[in-house]
Amino acid sequence: MLSTPDTAAARRPLSGLRVIEMAQIMAGPTCGMMLSDLGADVIKIEKWPSGDDARQYQKPGDSAMPPSFCMINRGKRSLALDVRTEAGKAVLKRLVAQADVLTENFRVGVMERLGLAYADLQPINPALIYCSITGYGRHGPMATTGGFDLILQAFSGLIAATGEPDRDPVKPGVSIADTNAGILAALAVLSAYVHRLRTGQGQHVETSLLQAAMQQTYWLAANYFSTGLDTPRLGTAHSLIAPYQVFRARDGQLVIGAGNPKAWLGVCQVLGHPEWAADPRFDHPQCRVQHREALVALIEAELANDGVAAWCARFESAGVPAGPVQHAGQALEHPQTQAVGMVVDVDDGQGGLQRGLGSPITLSGGSSPKLSMAPRVGQHSTEVLREFGWTEPEIDALLQQQVVWQG
């Protein structure tokens, strides 16, 4: 099934792997982006003419291709195909027969009703890796319930644990359930790929937004299982460590993470109060947590005497984990972020470049060819069909029947 890779991507580890992406919005496309960044040929199946629903997620002033869609669909190819028709299903099955992976994030039961479930496609291609991302999993009383990031963050306890203790809970500022589900799906695909290399057999792998959100609650779950109590909201503070949170300095905010005795002694020294180490309120980790409010007030009284950069430099010299609280733009523009490849150039298809987030994975044996822009709906329809063996008369017939569209 592996296709012959082109020279630009040949050194990437998944070069030649063919992925059919029947997924939209964020979780499934995140999985596809990670596989694409590692060299896989990701073919995105989209409805015509609107395509992936995320293409509509625009703010006033956005270009025709929304930045949010472009961010997680770069490097993919788009095939506009009506899989509701028998002819469209036949096209998809012919693609699957030559593919390595299929990803989908429909509600449980949709692919079964279409006749495109794993049980339908596995006989066509026993080596197929079929990856499903659902809302609540494929089993249990809520299996057929649709899943959305916001709802699963609330359901899993993430929102209840986030925010200040005396205010209403808040949603974390990023799509944790969606993004983590995409990462876990990519991990599942790669695990199944290793299994296939050993046995020749594919399999059905799956994850869900519920599992992806719950996986982020390790310490919340540990506290509940050990005490029977839920962890209260603490703002940026930590339930088991102090000082370990955001603090105000003269010109902004910084975080200090004194997670061990050495770091705590360093905090005392840097702030000019070595006597704090022997203070009975602070001389043991549990005491510092118990007297957190008093400790924070003392620390902030000293931090008010200088700026964030100066304090961070002092803490760094003393071996105390600390850093500035930055906005996303500051982090993206920081030379360290760029040095590790988290800001990349993406070919916009018109002779220019756009910036995007890079892959969080670095491989010593791989290469990083120039990334391509997210596709227009159906941009690669005929190109893909030719590569998979359709003749020109067959392609023309599909276009005339409006089973396939060329964008």
Share of the chain above pLDDT 90, in %: 90
CATH number, domain of 360, equals 3.40.50.10540
Do 82 and 174 have their domain in common?
A: yes
Do 111 and 141 have their domain in common?
A: yes
Whether residue 246 lies inside any domain: the answer is: no
Do 281 and 153 have their domain in common?
A: no
Residue 270 CA to residue 262 CA, distance in Å, equals 12
With a cut of 50, say whether residue 18 has pLDDT above it: yes
Q: Find residue 244's DSSP bridge partners.
A: 257
pLDDT of residue 366: 61
- Do 250 and 244 touch, CB atoms closer than 8 A? no
Strand pairing of 77-81 and 404-405?
antiparallel
Domain that holds residue 379: 7-216+339-405
Q: 400 CB contacts (<8 Å, ≥6 apart)?
A: none
pLDDT of residue 314: 98
Of all residues in the chain, what percent are helix, strand and coil, respectively (each to 5)? 40, 15, 45
Tokens for 15, please give them: 């070069």
pLDDT of residue 2: 66
pLDDT of residue 353: 85
Whether residue 80 lies inside any domain: the answer is: yes
Please state the three-class secondary structure of 34-102 as a single string: HHHHCCCEEEEEECCCCCCHHHHCCCCCCCCCCHHHHHHHCCCEEEEECCCCHHHHHHHHHHHCCCCEE
- Do 127 and 200 touch, CB atoms closer than 8 A? yes
Q: CB burial class (10 A; 0-12, 13-18, 19+) of residue 218?
A: exposed
Number of domains in the chain: 2
Domain end point (choices 301, 324, 347): 324
**pLDDT, tens only, 69-108:** 999 999 999 999 999 999 999 999 999 999 999 999 999 9
279-311 burial, b at 16+ Cβ within 10 Å, e below that, comes to: beebeebeebbebbeebbebbeebbeeeebeeb
Do 345 and 382 have their domain in common?
A: yes
Is 178 among the catalytic positions?
yes
> Helices (DSSP H) in 291-380: which residue ranges?
292-303, 308-317, 328-333, 335-339
CATH number, domain of 260, equals 3.30.1540.10
Do 104 and 150 have their domain in common?
A: yes
Whether residue 45 lies inside any domain: the answer is: yes
Q: What is the mean pLDDT of residues 48-54?
A: 96
- Report the sign of the C-alpha dihedral through residues 54, 55, 56, 59, in that order: positive
Q: What is the mean pLDDT of the chain?
A: 95
Whether residue 392 lies inside any domain: the answer is: yes
Looking at residue 221, its amino acid is: A
Whether residue 108 lies inside any domain: the answer is: yes
Whether residue 225 lies inside any domain: the answer is: no
Do 401 and 310 have their domain in common?
A: no
Q: CB burial class (10 A; 0-12, 13-18, 19+) of residue 271?
A: buried
Do 387 and 312 have their domain in common?
A: no
Do 354 and 317 have their domain in common?
A: no
With a cut of 80, say whether residue 330 has pLDDT above it: yes
- pLDDT band at residue 350 using 50, 70 and 90 as cut-offs: confident
Domain end point (choices 266, 298, 324): 324
**pLDDT, tens only, 211-265:** 999 999 999 999 999 999 999 999 999 999 999 999 999 999 999 999 999 999 9
Do 354 and 316 have their domain in common?
A: no
Do 208 and 263 have their domain in common?
A: no
Do 357 and 401 have their domain in common?
A: yes
Domain end point (choices 324, 348, 369): 324
Given the residues 178, 251, 348, 396, the one annotated as active site: 178
Sequence length of the chain is 407
Q: How far apart are the first and last CA of the chain?
A: 26
Residue 390 CA to residue 387 CA, distance in Å, equals 7
Do 19 and 120 have their domain in common?
A: yes
